[in-house]
Amino acid sequence: MSKNLRIFFGLILMLGSFPSMAQDPQFSQFYAAPLYLNPALVGSSDQARVGLNYRNQWPSLDAKFVTTSAYFDYFFEDYNSGVGMIITSDREGLAGLRSTSIGLQYAYQLRLTDKLSFRPGVQVAYIMRDINFDRLTFGDQYDETGFISPSTAEGFNTGSGVNFADLSAGGILYSGKFWIGYSMFHMTEPNQSFIGEDSPLPRKSSVHGGYKISLAPKASRGRGPMRAPSERSITPTFQYKWQGDFDQLDAGVYFTFEPIVLGLWYRGIPFKTFEEFSNNESAVFLIGISSNNLNIGYSFDYTLSELGIGSGGAHEISIAYEFPLRSRKIPPKNVRLIPCPKF
């Protein structure tokens, strides 16, 4: 990587610790990361669920972003309540800015009408962040020949880190065909500065929803009273999210032909610019397999922005498995499943 590009990404990382630039990591398969998307989705399956999400963005650059998230949740039918835990680790760019978040979530299912339900949810989390300033270079380390001096006038505590508590909440309204949700993270805007300044972490908000169009089902799968037809559906979905001065739209469609799921959507707001650059980020392609309560998905972000496909785009993998923790009523008397995709 050239010296100028190294400096550019180093500056981006430094600015990322200030309110104007700080952004949370994102998942293209946002419905495959339900607890990361909205605390109201905790316990949204009718049994226990464990999941893993992995994202590698811009793998061809030194300034790549790698995010891993793991979660477990369960719905307590007798109490109409979902509980869960999510652990997310994110490593950003040249300086290895690392963030680890551990969150506990709770959601309650409210039956509004015979067809309409609402789930409010809340998350309490603890976030730990640190950065390796030794891997950054600054302007005063370069002379006219391009020589890099090992010292800089910038003063940082290279062993420093910052830890803070965090509060988030959300809600989702849904029926058997549609859903619309809203979530807000970092509600108290905790201070995230490494250098003792006042640097609040901006609130992150998301509005997300969709509508499932069912097609003629295939022959039934499974045995006994739990057998069900294989799903055939088309599901348009969207997510609009914003944090600080940054906002983004994901819009696309899922094609479900169990056990195969295909997805195609666009990320960006093409009529809007940011710092004179078009907000035209990527096209996302997904293939997933859903069988025997196991869901495995792979997606690729094809970069449309000025950064170009030479960055390597982004690769993402999701795995989720659902299983019972106790004998269940058939069918469960209280559980109302949200019809959103699993990828």
In a domain, 336, yes or no: no
Residue 8 has pLDDT above 50, yes or no: no
Domain range holding 91? 3-323
Rounded Cα gap, residues 230 and 236, in angstroms:
19
Structure confidence by residue, pLDDT tens digits, 61-70: 877 889 999 9
Residue 15 has pLDDT above 50, yes or no: no
Residue 332 has pLDDT above 60, yes or no: no
Residues in the chain: 343
- Whether omega for the bond prior to residue 225 falls within 30 degrees of 0, making it cis, is no
Percentage of residues in the chain having pLDDT higher than 70: 77
Residue 142 has pLDDT above 70, yes or no: no
- Position 2 scores a pLDDT of 44
Structure confidence by residue, pLDDT tens digits, 189-243: 999 887 778 889 999 999 999 999 999 776 555 444 445 678 899 999 999 999 9
Rounded Cα gap, residues 311 and 98, in angstroms:
21
The CA-CA-CA angle for residues 241, 244, 250, to 5°, reads 20
- Position 113 scores a pLDDT of 94
Q: Is 195 left (phi over 0), alpha (psi -120 to 50) or beta?
A: alpha
Mean pLDDT of 121-150: 72
In a domain, 334, yes or no: no
In a domain, 342, yes or no: no
Residue 139 has pLDDT above 90, yes or no: no
Number of domains in the chain: 1
Residue 152 has pLDDT above 60, yes or no: no
In a domain, 340, yes or no: no
In a domain, 21, yes or no: yes
- Position 328 scores a pLDDT of 61
Residue 179 has pLDDT above 80, yes or no: yes
In a domain, 341, yes or no: no
Mean pLDDT of 76-86: 95
Top pLDDT among 54 and 306 is at: 54
Residue 21 φ/ψ, nearest 5 degrees: -125, -15
H or E stretch covering 235: strand 232-243
**Which of 83-92, 103-112, 303-312 has the weakest average pLDDT?**
303-312
- What number of other Cβ atoms are within 10 A of residue 160's Cβ? 14
In a domain, 343, yes or no: no
Reported confidence tier of residue 111, pLDDT bands at 50, 70, 90: very high
- Strand 204-211, strand 228-229: pairing: unpaired
Mean pLDDT of 294-313: 92
Rounded Cα gap, residues 174 and 336, in angstroms:
9
Asked if 168 and 243 count as a contact pair (C-beta separation under 8 A), the reply is no
In a domain, 233, yes or no: yes
**Which of 45-54, 268-277, 312-321, 327-336 has the weakest average pLDDT?**
327-336
- Cβ neighbors of 63 (< 8 A, separation 6 or more) are 1, 9, 12, 13, 92, 93, 94
Reported confidence tier of residue 18, pLDDT bands at 50, 70, 90: very low
Q: Which residue has the tokens 């019809």?
A: 339
Structure confidence by residue, pLDDT tens digits, 273-287: 766 667 788 999 999
- What number of other Cβ atoms are within 10 A of residue 181's Cβ? 23
Rounded Cα gap, residues 183 and 71, in angstroms:
18
- Cβ neighbors of 113 (< 8 A, separation 6 or more) are none
**Would you state the torsion angle of the CA atoms of residues 228, 229, 232, 233, taken in this order, to the nearest 10 degrees?**
-40
Distances (CA, A) of 305 to 2, 89, 272: 20, 26, 13
Asked if 159 and 184 count as a contact pair (C-beta separation under 8 A), the reply is no
List the CATH number of the domain containing 156: 2.40.160.40
- Position 228 scores a pLDDT of 60
- Strand 260-274, strand 246-257: pairing: antiparallel
CA-nearest of 291, 296, 287 to 320 is 296
- Position 290 scores a pLDDT of 93
Mean pLDDT of 107-129: 96
Distances (CA, A) of 164 to 124, 160, 170, 280: 11, 14, 20, 33
Q: Which amino acid is at 75?
A: F
Reported confidence tier of residue 7, pLDDT bands at 50, 70, 90: very low
